[in-house]
């Protein structure tokens, strides 16, 4: 069964003549064990797609099912709980709390979530895999863009969610690191049985994806190989 499903999703912004149809009859499903890329040009509705999939905003019409739960039927608190326990967000900017050291960013997750986190050994291996095991005593202000992004990934994965939603997770990384993150996401999907959905411009990740979707003018479709890159 798919862990995340979007059924006939439409999303409009504005009213009257300024109304914009951002997502049009979007149908999407992700299963555990899959790494799915959603690509598209700026303003195509990628972030809207991601925030609706994560229950951060509601569609104008259609249904979002996460872990068998109709997100639209959940209260705000229940959606918070759903995200905290089942969905890991990896975001492009402002991802880290500026006054917490790397290890404290993880500690904060532990204090809020308390159960179902990665074990200490798994966390250590994750930090090593991301190449940030020596950065645990640094503040975000002391990290490069790439290091910041990797810490944000570690923080999302530490909560051990079934679904990982990532918004441009490799925007600040060089090609070697992109490949590492791609491999990590792939491994995460396969070995840890997660559904990983990555919204990105970065086609360097395509080689790791099981499926690549494309959003164009609000419509989502499977991207055929050898198409143009963004």
Partner 1 sequence: MYLALKEIRHEKLRYSLITGMIVLITYLIFILSGLATGLAGENTQAIDSWNAKSVVLNRDANVNLSQSTITTDQIDNANLTKNQAVIGQSPVVVKSHDREKESAQFVGLKNNEYIAKDLSVANGRKARTSHEVVVDQQFKQDGYKLGDKVKFNSATTRYTIVGFTKNAKLNVAPVVYGSLSTWKDLRNMPGAKLAGSAIVSKTANFKSHNKELKTYSDSYFVSKLPGYAAQNTTFGFMIGFLMIISLVIIAVFLYILTIQALPTYAVLRAQGIPAATLVRTIISQSLILMALGIVIGTGLTLITANMIPFGVPISFNVPMLAMISVGLLLMGIIGAAIPARKIAVVDPVQVIGG
Q: Give the footprint of partner 1 on this chain (CB under 8 A).
A: 22, 45-52, 54, 56-57, 77, 80-85, 87-89, 91-100, 104, 107-108, 111-112, 139, 156, 159, 167
Q: Where are the beta strands (DSSP E) in the chain?
A: 4-13, 20-30, 35-39, 61-66, 69-70, 87-90, 163-167, 195-200, 211-216, 219-222
Strand partners, 66: 4, 69
State the minimum distance, in angstroms, from the CB of residue 47 to partner 1: 3
Shorter beta-carbon distance to partner 1: residue 13 or 144: 13
What is the C-alpha to C-alpha distance for residues 88 and 153, in angstroms, rounded to an integer? 9
State the minimum distance, in angstroms, from the CB of residue 150 to partner 1: 16
Shorter beta-carbon distance to partner 1: residue 83 or 177: 83
State the minimum distance, in angstroms, from the CB of residue 227 to partner 1: 23
What is the C-alpha to C-alpha distance for residues 206 and 179, in angstroms, rounded to an integer? 10
Shorter beta-carbon distance to partner 1: residue 176 or 216: 216
State the minimum distance, in angstroms, from the CB of residue 109 to partner 1: 8
Q: How far is CA 154 from the centre of its chain?
A: 12
Strand partners, 5: 29, 65
Shorter beta-carbon distance to partner 1: residue 86 or 177: 86
State the minimum distance, in angstroms, from the CB of residue 73 to partner 1: 17
Shorter beta-carbon distance to partner 1: residue 2 or 92: 92
Residue 162 φ then ψ, to 5°: -75, -30
User: Is-contact 197 38, C-beta < 8 A?
Assistant: yes
């Amino acid at each position: 069964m798919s862990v995340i499903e979007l059924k006939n999703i439409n999303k409009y912004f504005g009213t009257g003549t300024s109304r914009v149809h951002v997502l049009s009859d979007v149908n999407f499903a992700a299963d555990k064990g899959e790494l799915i890329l959603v690509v598209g040009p700026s303003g195509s509705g990628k972030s809207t797609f991601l925030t609706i999939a994560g229950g951060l905003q509601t569609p104008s019409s259609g249904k979002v099912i996460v872990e068998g739960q109709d997100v639209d039927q959940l209260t705000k608190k229940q959606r918070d709980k759903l995200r905290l326990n089942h969905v890991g967000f990896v975001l492009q900017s402002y991802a880290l709390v500026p006054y917490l050291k790397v290890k404290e960013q993880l500690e904060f997750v532990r204090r809020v979530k308390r159960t179902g986190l990665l074990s200490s050994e798994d966390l250590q291996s994750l930090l090593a895999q991301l190449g940030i095991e020596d950065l645990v005593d640094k503040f975000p202000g002391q990290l490069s863009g790439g290091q910041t992004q990797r810490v944000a990934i570690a923080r999302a994965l530490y909560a051990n969610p079934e679904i990982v939603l990532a918004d441009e997770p490799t925007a600040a990384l060089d090609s070697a690191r992109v490949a590492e993150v791609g491999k990590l996401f792939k491994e995460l999907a396969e070995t840890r049985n997660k559904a990983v959905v990555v919204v990105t411009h970065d086609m360097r990740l395509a080689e790791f994806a099981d499926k690549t979707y494309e959003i164009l003018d609000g419509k989502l479709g499977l991207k055929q190989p050898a198409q143009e890159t963004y």
